[in-house]
């Protein structure tokens, strides 16, 4: 029979991050959410704990762990604060992981130690106004000039792109075109999309005013403008023309991380609802004694448990070197919906208090919606799953 019990090392990590989340992250979560302020002190402590380096080898300043370790940490953080969790998720899976997966040895040595330590953050500039789910619609362009890439374009919804410790944003850009078969005996022009690393102090790179978001208020998110940005040709990340394909791999991995984050959010709603149901009295008894409430929480726990099994399975396949694209899509789908459904139910259990932002369930209600949108919408996950079924 499969064994879903965590090893001692994994369990120790879970216990450590859970304690940190409860004692350090949670007490300041409401304040950062209200102020829309980035939690620099919390992030610094996460760096000291090694969380940003969890899946990277020690030779690059990492902890020598794996992607599942990162997912476990994200689940525990997201129970109490999704903004903090997404800062870690994006910093590792979108910021540092592309450098580790596709960078040259020189690029890894230059960037990974500072990113793995949490002293610096990186972002990934993929999304544009015409290129979201259809990243092939990228309009940002780059061309060579005297040993440099000259980049012009704009990006939207880029996480970790404008903090005081952001040092790098890797952007996708059209670097050429090619003719490919159109399936009807002719050819069509296809964009060649590449990824290029842009240090944030490069002239012409601008992180515009931060978005005023519905949720994830303590997470840093900006639109970006690149106007005649010039970086060395050596800043090409991976092979030229392979940027889009490489990023699809990063997204597949990232969906496991987002699923873990969403599972944490779903579990956090369960824990808050249990506490409240035991404490809150109406008509002379704790509301948890009412079957309507207890059944609701039972369904919430089932959703969180199912989401956890889904991301455990996807992560296990990934670490074993087996195909995991479909399993990652299913995990992201199930966990995102579990987070949103549990947040709705938790808010209902809390009644009027569930509509007050100082309560964690209210923040989960606002935060969780993006889990059905970011890093691949629910509809994209369904498309990927249906495609695997031959539809």
Which residues are known to be catalytic?
375
Task: Give the whole-angstrom CA distance, residue 18 versus residue 16.
Answer: 6
Task: Give the whole-angstrom CA distance, residue 376 versus residue 391.
Answer: 19
Helices (H), the chain: 8-20, 26-35, 40-49, 67-78, 82-89, 97-102, 105-117, 243-279, 291-319, 325-350, 360-368, 378-388
Task: Give the whole-angstrom CA distance, residue 56 versus residue 340.
Answer: 31
Please check whether residue 238 is in contact with residue 314, taking contact to mean a CB–CB distance below 8 angstroms.
no
The DSSP secondary structure of 235-297, one letter per residue, reads GEESSTTBHHHHHHHHHHHHHHHHHHHHHHHHHHHHHHHHHHHHH-EETTEEGGGSHHHHHHH
- Kindly give, in sequence order, each residue whose CB lies less than 8 Å from that of residue 110, ignoring residues fewer than 6 positions away: none
- Kindly give, in sequence order, each residue whose CB lies less than 8 Å from that of residue 165, ignoring residues fewer than 6 positions away: 40, 43, 119, 120, 121
Residue 220: count of CB within 10 angstroms of its CB: 28
- Kindly give, in sequence order, each residue whose CB lies less than 8 Å from that of residue 131, ignoring residues fewer than 6 positions away: 137, 138, 139
Q: What is the CA 9 to chain-centroid distance, rounded?
A: 24
Residue 294: count of CB within 10 angstroms of its CB: 14
Please check whether residue 326 is in contact with residue 384, taking contact to mean a CB–CB distance below 8 angstroms.
yes
User: In b/e form, how buried is each residue of 299-315, taking b as 16+ CB within 10 angstroms?
Assistant: ebbebbeebbebbbbbb
Task: Give the whole-angstrom CA distance, residue 257 versus residue 75.
Answer: 9
Question: For residue 198, what are its two tokens?
Answer: 């842009």
Task: Give the whole-angstrom CA distance, residue 184 versus residue 187.
Answer: 8
């Amino acid at each position: 029979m499969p064994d879903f019990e965590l090893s001692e090392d994994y369990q120790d990590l879970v216990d450590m991050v859970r304690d940190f989340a409860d004692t350090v992250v949670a007490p300041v979560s409401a304040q950062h959410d209200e102020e829309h302020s980035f939690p620099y002190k919390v992030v610094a402590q996460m760096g000291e704990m090694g969380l940003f380096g969890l899946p990277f080898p020690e030779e690059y300043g990492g902890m020598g762990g794996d992607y599942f370790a990162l997912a476990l940490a994200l689940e525990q953080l997201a129970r109490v604060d999704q903004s903090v969790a997404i800062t870690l998720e994006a910093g590792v899976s979108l910021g540092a992981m592309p450098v580790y997966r596709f960078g040259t040895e020189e690029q890894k040595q230059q960037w990974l130690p500072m990113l793995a330590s949490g002293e610096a953050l990186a972002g990934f500039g993929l999304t544009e106004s015409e290129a979201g789910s259809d990243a092939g619609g990228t309009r940002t362009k780059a061309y060579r000039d005297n040993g440099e890439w000259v980049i012009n374009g704009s990006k939207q919804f880029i996480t970790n792109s404008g903090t005081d410790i952001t040092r790098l944003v890797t952007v996708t850009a059209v670097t050429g075109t090619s003719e490919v078969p159109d399936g009807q005996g002719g050819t069509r022009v296809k964009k060649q999309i590449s990824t290029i690393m842009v240090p944030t102090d490069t002239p012409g790179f601008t992180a515009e005013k931060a978005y005023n978001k519905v949720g994830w208020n303590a997470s840093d998110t900006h639109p970006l403008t690149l106007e005649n940005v010039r970086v060395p040709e050596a800043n090409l990340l991976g092979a030229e023309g392979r940027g889009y394909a490489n990023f699809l791999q990063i997204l597949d991995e990232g969906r496991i991380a987002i699923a873990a984050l969403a599972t944490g959010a779903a579990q956090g709603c369960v824990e808050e609802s249990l506490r409240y149901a035991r404490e809150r009295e109406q008509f002379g008894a704790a509301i948890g004694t009412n079957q309507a409430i207890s059944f609701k929480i039972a369904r919430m726990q089932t959703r969180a448990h199912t989401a956890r099994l889904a991301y455990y399975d996807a992560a296990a396949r990934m670490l074993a070197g087996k195909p995991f694209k479909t399993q990652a899509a299913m995990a992201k789908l199930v966990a995102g919906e579990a987070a949103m459904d549990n947040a709705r139910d938790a808010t209902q259990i809390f009644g009027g208090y569930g509509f007050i932002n100082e309560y964690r369930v209210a923040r989960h209600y606002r935060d969780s919606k993006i889990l059905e949108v970011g890093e691949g919408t629910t509809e994209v996950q369904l498309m990927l799953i249906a495609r695997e079924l031959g539809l």
